[in-house]
Amino acid sequence: MISVTRVHTRVKTQGIGHPWSAKADRLQSATGIMLGCFLLLHMHFESSILLGKEAFYQVVQLLEGGMFSSTGHGFPMVTKVFSVFMLLVVILHAAVALRRFPAQLGQWRALRSHLGCINHRDTHAWFWQLITGFILFFLVPVHLFTMILNPEIGPHLSAERVYHDNAWLLYALLLPAVVIHAMIGLYRVAVKWGITAQRSGLRKLAKVLIIYLLCLGSASLVAYMLIGSELSIPVQPYVPQ
C-alpha cells in the first residue's frame, strides 16, 4: 500500500543557480579569449628580435604608431595606455575566475582525492590551469606595472630590462605559466561553448602550441640576454642604421 504525504507549505530552495553565474561564465570566457589571443600576438611580436635588432625596432615603431609621427618614432604612451587596459582585463578575468577557486583546505583535499580517483584528461587540465592561474595572479601584475611605469621598448632598452635589471627571472617563471594557462583555457572555452566536439584533436593542437610557444619564448629570452650582455652602462637606445 502506497501512502501519499501532501506538503501544504512551500519549500524554498536557495543557491540552485543564479543569473549572475551564467553571466560570469560568459565574461570569464570572453576575457579569457581576449587574453589568449593577445598572448599569441604578443609572443610573435616579441620574437621578431630573433630576426635582428632592426626587425624588432620596426615592429615596435609600427605598434606604437610611428607612421603618425613626423620623425617615424612611435609613441611610448601607446604602450602605457594599452598596458593599463590589459591590466584591467586581467583583473576582471581573475575576479570572475576566483569564484571557482578552492578557498578552504578541505576543498583542496577533496580536489586532490578526486584527481587521484579518476583518469579524466580535462579534469587534470583544469587542475593545471588552476595552479598556473594562481601563479599568474602574482606575476602578471608585476610585468604590466613595469610596462606602465617604464613603457620604453626597443632592442637595447628591452635587453637592458631583461639582462641588467634581472627581469629574466620574472620572465622565466611567467613564460611557462602563462603559456600553459592560456592554451588550456582556449581549449576549455572551445569545448565548453561547443565550438568543436573533437576533443582529442583539439588537445593535440593545444599541446603543440604549448611546446611551440615555449620554444619561441625561450629563444627570444636568450636573444635578449645575449644582446644585454654586450651593452655597456648607461645603455643607449638603439638607432637604426
Binding residue ranges for heme b: 42, 93, 143, 181
Q: All 3 cell numbers of residue 106?
A: 578541505
Check residue 59 and give left, alpha or beta (phi > 0: left; psi -120 to 50: alpha): alpha
Annotated binding site, which residues? 42, 93, 143, 181
Q: Which residue has the cell 504525504?
A: 5
What's the rounded Cα separation, in Å, for the pair 94 and 138?
11
Q: All 3 cell numbers of residue 150?
A: 617604464
* Burial of 40 per CB tally in 10 Å (0-12, 13-18, 19+): middle
CA separation, residue 85 to residues 34, 89, 148, 200 (Å): 12, 6, 10, 35
3-state secondary structure of 13: coil
